[in-house]
Structure 1
Amino acid sequence: MSSSSRASDGPRTWLALLAVCLAAAAMPLTFTGTAVALPSIGRALGGSPVAIAWVTNAFMLTFGSTLMAAGALADSYGRKRIFLAGVGSFAVVSFALVFATDILVFDLLRAAQGFAAAAAFSGGMAALAQAFEGPARLRAFSIVGTSFGVGLSLGPVASGLMIEALGWRSIFLAVVVFAVLAFIFGWYALKESRDPASRGLDWGGALTFTAALGLFTYGILLAPERGWSDGMVLGLLAGALVFLLAFVVTERAVSRPMLDLSLFAYPRFVGVQLLAAAPAYGFVVLLVLLPGRFIGVEGMGEAAAGTLMIALSAPLLILPIVAGLLTRWLRPATICGAGLLISAAGLLWLSQIQVGAPVLALALPMLVIGTGISFPWGLMDGLAVSVVPKERAGMATGIFSTTRVAGEGVALAVVSAILSMLVADGLKGSAIPSTIATSAQRLAAGDLGAAGNALQGIDRAVLTSLYSNAFSNLLLLLTAITLLTALVVFVFLRTNAHDVSEARVESAA
């Protein structure tokens, strides 16, 4: 047995894995927990529909847009150092959120929380790639993926119970506990490592990419309120395009880019990135939209809504591990594509369930969606690391995680805008034009009471029916997107494993 293999089996190495898993569980907990708390946060802190939307989008935007930069920093300055800095900051900012009394301050803290999460995740995953070898590395990454599933599964119900018992601010205290434990275990067990060939952070790439993603997300969030032809919306989207082009030019010019664009010439690499974005439209957006529907429109309490969300996320506790075992007999493309097809079937089923239906009628299609998405979920992280040399593990996890998290943030903004537009379209002819945009945003966010107050003369039952139809049409669109993604994954992941790494080694030689 090699020394690296022995290191992978040591108790200290597995304690390092526990540290990263605790951090990994805290990140989705702060996402799904906040989604359940969003109605309570809105009532307590106030703010416009756009400001409330930034409660979730600020975290996703900064998390997704800085993951590649954090991965580069981890490779350059030390993976353990960046992990500890990230998870420590994550704990401090999460504690500060408990005391926020203004929606603007709250949104800014959520953005800071995203920055910290990016450092913790990129540093931790890159450190694990050095600590584990061969099959042990695949198992380790699968366990981290399962930890995300634990955070997603337990987040809604735990947050719902805490909100009803202790208030919405208590959910951030739970996140602090996870982060502090992750810091303690990581400080003790993680070993410091760097990429000897690293040349520091690609500042030009980091800044242009973050600016492009931020302007695009802001433009999408403003569009339902101002309209797509509004000068500010068009300016933001145009600015995003300019910064995206600047990012591409920058990455092609530097010798050691944050994102190696030549990797996109390989079908397997492209397939892995598309696979990373696949759950965003068919699963992650539902983690935010469904609690809003259940609490604000269906009239459920936070605990009841959180408990119902288990039907969607509970399969992530077990099935990602099953997916890893199935690779002994089936190709990853087959497992991932089949999972997406199952998820699409669940989305189609859920689209037929109207507001006011029995809980079981909602839970069954949600369970199908969660079951389907669990199969690619269990394979994504391991596939991501397989497409680049080990020494660029920070870049690999950064690219993959950026695609996944940034894709989720963009998906959330886009899907929320689409739902708002569908609601606004239903209000035309029955409401004063000047009140439609804001009322549609309130209703799309699940704030039926505020929408009803702004639309005097429209019966609450009519608004509920209008919302229900818009939500069903949105689910049909998500079904189509998931089906298309499944087809693309089947095609792009057919190539042999490690084709990207092998091609890059050959070209280097």
Structure 2
Amino acid sequence: METFTPDPRRWWALGALVASMLTLGFDMTILNVALPTMAADLGASTGQQQWMADAYVVVFAALMLPAGLLGDRFGRRRMLIVGLGIFLAGSALGALADDVNAVVAARALMGVGGALVTPLALSVLPSLFGSDERTKAVGIISAASALGLPLGPIIGGWLLNHFWWGSVFLVNVPMAALGIAACLFLLPETRDPASPKVDAVSTALTATGLGALIYAIIEAPARGWGDPLVAAMFAAATVLIAALVVRERRVERPMLDMSLLSHRGFLFNTIAATLVMFILSGLLFVLPPYLQAVLGNDALGTGVRLLPMMGGLLVSSRLAPQIVARFGARATVSGGLVVLAFAAFLGSRTTIDSGYGFTALWLSVTGLGFGLALIPAMNSALGTLPRDRAGSGSGLLLTLRQVGGAIGIALLGSLLAAAFQDRLDVTGLPAQAADTAENSVVAAHVVAQQTGSADLIASADNAYVHGMGLVLLVCGAAALVAALLAAAFLPGTPRPSETAATPDMAPEPADARQ
């Protein structure tokens, strides 16, 4: 199988894939910095901001498994080009959008494109590189994905300082076009006709079940947890996800192979990785408004001030393999989660007068904890599976991680919104102005500037910092629970050299960017 002549253009082709992954990488975080600006311009409530962030992640999670199978069946290069084309179209639509619904639709369309690109960018590597070069190629793609994280807020901040908010979408267009051209001219076509067929019913159950669940979580703070529509959505989500599990357990060749969760090491490493994503996505949602509205930084300043977390993540990604080699994966994952819990509890002590120095401190520790927990958890999850299940295992792992991210934004964003509205003092404001101020800290600042109310600014900042503290306490508790689960249930894995990057693990590191 490995006795093929490597394509002389393979490193150029890898460059094309790197450009694609870099674009997707910074698109994960570029919107977080833009949200406060978009909220002010579009009059978006916290719930609507959650949908702008979550539309991409929900669609991405729901379609990643069928997207990989489409590539196997119809040609990976062809579907990669289709994915980049859809991503380009969604980005163009986002740049032209003039209301919240259009932005949400654009983000959902970009999610379709992202779901096609992510698994396929990795699945073409075996056809380009022999086993001797493949680990290096996977490392380069992983680095590009990880690099996208810190680049997103900085590029987004610079664009917002110089252009309108639509430019954070427009920047994707030339990148995606370059990726399409490179794939057309440089990538060979590969397929695997033996892969399972794409199951339209399972895909529909995944998308509608996740959509209903996240809709209910986002709408509950505004409508009330006992609201008939919220209750109906929770019930529908339960029924749809249960139907998906039952269906996938019965079919001969499942698209979402639930039997993988019977492997203890895979199950608990996956739970750890999913909880880490839950915390990271929630954090990246609540931090920019604090840095921008409360501390008064512009968009670029906000992006730059998120760098300590990325710095911690990059340091831990270098340290993690050495710590795993010395102490084993179980100790590393558990220790990383404890560090993460400490950082979140430290961050929850933030007050209105803390200033940025304190934030930079706990952000650095947060990044350190993320890397130490996430990278070994993903490697170990896939390392516990038989070699012939590595492909389906990586698909299930990435899907559950995306679900964790979507629920993190929905649940922690909803907690923040409820705490903010509860604490905000709008006495003396006209009813309409009070409703607007309760939408978000950014909206409260806009209303305060219009009414000249210094008291409202102080109340909004205090309410937001209180809500952020609650979110961080929940993050810390979730990280501690995950650490206890990891310490109690993860198998005491040997300190293996084989859980570094092997060809079977190729699909895994690309998502280190989140």
Q: Mean Cα displacement is larger for which, 76-85 or 241-250? A: 76-85
Give the 5 Å matches for 1:7-22.
7=6, 12-22=9-19
Is 1:174 the counterpart of 2:175? The answer is no
Is 1:260 the counterpart of 2:257? The answer is yes
Aligned with residue 411 of structure 2, among 411, 414, 418? 414
Mark the CA change 1:148 to 1:489 in structure 2 (over 3 Å): closer, same or farther.
farther
Mark the CA change 1:48 to 1:283 in structure 2 (over 3 Å): closer, same or farther.
closer
In structure 1, the gaps of 5 or more residues are 500-509
Q: Is the 8 A contact 2:336 2:372 kept in 1?
A: yes
Q: Mean Cα displacement is larger for which, 299-308 or 218-227? A: 299-308
Aligned twin of 1:3: 3
Q: Is the 8 A contact 1:267 1:495 kept in 2?
A: no
Aligned AA (2:207): T
In structure 2, the gaps of 5 or more residues are 500-514
Aligned AA (1:242): V
TM-score, structure 2 normalization: 0.87
Mark the CA change 1:233 to 1:386 in structure 2 (over 3 Å): closer, same or farther.
same
Is 1:303 the counterpart of 2:290? The answer is no
C-alpha deviation, 1:62, in angstroms: 0.7
Secondary structure in 2 matching 1:355:
coil
CA deviation string 1:270-328 (max 9, x = no partner): 12321331322332322221111111222221111111011112333453243234444
Aligned twin of 1:447: 443
Give the 5 Å matches for 1:146-165.
146-165=143-162
What is the alpha-carbon distance in structure 2 between the residues aligned to residue 166 and residue 226 of structure 1?
36
Give the 5 Å matches for 1:155-304.
155-304=152-301
What is the alpha-carbon distance in structure 1 between the residues aligned to residue 386 and residue 84 of structure 2?
26
Is 1:475 the counterpart of 2:439? The answer is no
Aligned twin of 2:36: 39
Q: Mean Cα displacement is larger for which, 275-284 or 215-224? A: 275-284
Aligned twin of 1:395: 392
CA deviation string 1:379-405 (max 9, x = no partner): 455445545555655533321211111
Is 1:112 the counterpart of 2:109? The answer is yes
Aligned AA (1:165): H
Is 1:96 the counterpart of 2:96? The answer is no
Secondary structure in 2 matching 1:98:
helix
Q: Percent identity?
A: 27
Aligned twin of 1:503: none
C-alpha deviation, 1:237, in angstroms: 0.7
What is the alpha-carbon distance in structure 2 between the residues aligned to residue 69 and residue 38 of structure 1?
30
Across the aligned residues of Structure 1 and Structure 2, the Cα RMSD in angstroms comes to 3.2
What is the alpha-carbon distance in structure 1 between the residues aligned to residue 171 and residue 26 of structure 2?
9
C-alpha deviation, 1:11, in angstroms: 5.7
Q: Is the 8 A contact 2:58 2:210 kept in 1?
A: yes
Secondary structure in 1 matching 2:439:
helix
Give the 5 Å matches for 1:304-343.
304-343=301-340
Mark the CA change 1:117 to 1:56 in structure 2 (over 3 Å): closer, same or farther.
same
Aligned twin of 2:481: 484
Give the 5 Å matches for 1:352-363.
352-363=349-360
CA deviation string 1:188-241 (max 9, x = no partner): 443333334223101121111111100001111110110000000001111101
Aligned residues: 495
Secondary structure in 1 matching 2:97:
coil
C-alpha deviation, 1:424, in angstroms: 3.4
Aligned AA (1:84): I
Aligned with residue 67 of structure 1, among 60, 64, 69? 64
Q: Is the 8 A contact 1:21 1:144 kept in 2?
A: yes
Aligned AA (2:288): P
